[in-house]
Amino acid sequence: MITLKKLSSLLKQKEKRLKSKKKCANYLIEFRFHGYAKRYAKELSKNISRKFQVKQVIRKGKPLHISLYGGFSTADENEMIKKFVSICKRFDLVKFKLNGFDHIDKHVIYLNVKPSTELIGLRSELAKELNTTCKAQPWDMPELDFIFHTTIAHGDIEEKFDEIWRYVSSLEIPNIDQCLLRATLLKKGKILREYDFIQREMLHRYEALSRRSMQKTISALKEIKANGGKRLEIHLAETPSTSKKIFLISDLHLDHTNIIKYTKRPFKNVKEMNDILVSNWNNTVRNQDTVYFLGDMAFGKGSHSAEYWLKKLNGKIVFIEGNHEDIKLKTFYSKDKNVFLKYKDEEFILTHDPALKPKGWKGWIIHGHHHNNHPTEFPLINSENKTINVSVELIKYTPIEIDKILGKRGI
């Protein structure tokens, strides 16, 4: 018979083992290739394996990749994920080139990666910031030069190295331009999170493995390439008018029960919240008015679609995409585009998340995303950082006129 004391001791031992297991979890951050570069390297690895009877590196379950950081371990997975996403958001279109072959002693043959300034910066910031909370490898020191590469042969090649290297050296030198689609965070070899640089969003495992999601990413990348390698820019304009008003609002989170507690919303339940938010909107906005909505219309398991709620709301709604939204609307703009609004001879960037502002942008940003959770950094108006936060919690759960916002800003 197990006594209460013995049971308590066993539970403590189990808890200790689980904590130890968590600390020893293996993580890795990498970039996985796509398209022509993926096919080229996979075929080359296969040819080397067949021709010289050595292990094939790039095979099913072992995708062609560039290691960006790791392997590493951490005792605080949640904090590590936050840092990973925060760092990735600072970088937009991260380009590089596959350029020739090289080797490390006689153990590894690889495709040489010529990194852009952005790729070097991304790797450096991952090392610098993750090293504060993670146990890193010796090569993941930010001050060290990092060899960007993707391996095509290694392991059992030492005895046949000279033959393999002569063969590889006889091939036409590859010169392939690439763009980072996603940074992949692995835990014990399985996708934990991905950050999509093209769609500019963090993906959970099921989203990262979604073919539909990847198709959207590839489609957006094609648009960027067709635009000379730059993001498409949408320039909108409004002029002051006595016949219509212009409103701003973000982050309704309709149907989202947990948001009431998360942001301390003054509602008893989700039904009351939905009813009041819709009522506030329709009592303020007329059908001829324009509303710039900056993302996150509805959220949570079992929530209605954004289209469902849009049919209940007054006004001509211009929808700027939030987190994981899929809208069928003419005036809908996804995160893969930069949207600007010109009003009273001044231009503003409209975005759900202010971290996604275009590189080099020095003007004002109108955004949502942060709700009322960071009142010092993201109040209604931050004149120093030139941000205007129109999350519903900061505007009395009601669309706010653009002129009132600009008046508060001192214009």
Whether the CB-CB separation of 48 and 59 falls below 8 Å is answered with: no
For the residues 106-127, what does the mean pLDDT come to? 93
The pTM assigned to this predicted structure is 0.86
The tens digit of pLDDT for each residue in 335-358 reads: 999 999 999 989 999 999 999 999
| pLDDT of the residue at 23 | 46
- What pLDDT sits at residue 59? 58
Rounded CA gap, 282 and 284, in Å? 5
Report if residue 16 sits inside a domain. Answer: no
Q: Lowest-confidence range among 19-23, 81-85, 98-102?
A: 19-23
> Between β-strands 182-187 and 190-196, what pairing exists: parallel, antiparallel or unpaired?
antiparallel
Domain closes at, from 192, 226, 260: 226
Q: Are residues 310 and 165 in the same domain?
A: no
In a domain, 6, yes or no: no
How many Å apart are CA 87 and CA 74, to the nearest integer?
17
Q: What is the pLDDT at residue 144?
A: 77
- Among candidate residues 347, 152, 392, 119, the one with its CA nearest the CA of residue 233: 347
End residue of a domain, out of 226, 243, 259: 226
**Residue 141 pLDDT:** 84
pLDDT per position as a tens digit, 274-331: 999 999 999 999 999 999 999 999 998 889 999 999 999 999 999 999 986 777 777 8
Same domain for 169 and 249, yes or no, is no
Sheet containing strand 175-179, strands side by side: 149-154, 108-115, 95-104, 175-179
The answer to whether residues 368 and 389 touch, using CB atoms and an 8 Å cutoff, is yes
Q: Which residues contact 255 (CB under 8 A, 6 or more apart)?
A: 270, 274, 298, 299, 300, 302, 303, 304
Please tell me the predicted confidence (pLDDT) of residue 4.
44
pLDDT exceeds cutoff 50 at 113: yes
Same domain for 256 and 330: yes
Please report which confidence band the pLDDT of residue 390 belongs to, taking 50, 70 and 90 as the band edges: very high
Task: Give the span between the Cα atoms of 182 and 184, in whole angstroms.
Answer: 6
What are 241-282's pLDDT values in tens digits?
Answer: 989 999 999 999 999 999 999 999 999 999 999 999 999 999
Q: What is the CATH number of the domain that holds 273?
A: 3.60.21.10
Indicate whether 362 pLDDT > 60.
yes
Which residue range is the domain that position 209 belongs to? 23-226
Residue 21 has pLDDT above 50, yes or no: no
pLDDT of residue 61: 59
What are φ and ψ of residue 207, in 5° steps?
-75, -40
Residue 90 maps to a domain: yes
**pLDDT at position 34, please?**
86
SS3 call for 314: coil
**Are 299 and 190 in the same domain?**
no
Write the Ramachandran bin of 70: left for phi over 0, alpha for psi from -120 to 50, otherwise beta.
left
**C-alpha closest to that of 151 among 96, 101, 97, 94:** 101
Q: Is the pLDDT of residue 225 over 90?
A: yes
Per-residue pLDDT at 17: 46
pLDDT at 11 over 50: no
Q: What is the pLDDT of residue 359?
A: 86
- Residues 89, 66 share a domain: yes
What pLDDT was estimated at residue 146? 86
280 and 207 part of one domain: no
Question: Which of 209, 226, 243 is the last residue before a domain boundary?
Answer: 226
State how far the alpha carbon of 160 is from the alpha carbons of 53, 57, 107, in Å: 9, 15, 10
Residue 301: the pLDDT is 84
CATH number for the domain spanning 134: value is 3.90.1140.10
Average pLDDT, the chain: 89
Predicted local distance difference test score (pLDDT) of residue 9: 54
Let me know: does 57 contact 51? Beta carbons within 8 Å.
Answer: no
Which whole number is the average pLDDT over 117-140?
92
Q: Are residues 178 and 205 in the same domain?
A: yes
Per-residue confidence (pLDDT) for residue 14, from 0 to 100: 42
190 and 247, same domain (yes or no)? no
**Nearest one of 330, 320, 343 to 240, comparing CA atoms:** 343
Question: With 80 as the cut, is the pLDDT of residue 6 above it?
Answer: no
Residue 225 CB neighbours (<10 A): 12
For the chain, how many structural domains are there in total? 2
Q: Please give the share of the chain, as a percent, with pLDDT higher than 70.
A: 92
Are residues 143 and 255 both part of a single domain?
A: no
Distance between CA atoms of residues 161 and 334, nearest Å: 49
Q: Look at 398 and 15; give whichever has higher pLDDT.
A: 398
* 45 and 144 part of one domain: yes
Q: Are 127 and 141 in contact (CB under 8 A)?
A: yes
Secondary structure (3-state) at 12? helix
Average pLDDT over residues 5-21: 47
> Domain check: are 176 and 270 in the same one?
no
**Cβ neighbours around 356 below 10 Å, total:** 18
CA distances from 138 to 27, 34, 123, 286 (A): 15, 29, 14, 62
Cis peptide before 100 (omega within 30 of 0): no
- First and final CA of the chain: distance in angstroms? 78
Whether residue 350 is found in the same domain as residue 260: yes
Mean pLDDT within 15-25: 47
Q: What share of the chain is helix, strand, coil (3-state, %, to 5)?
A: 35, 25, 40
Q: Which two tokens stand for residue 113?
A: 């990666």
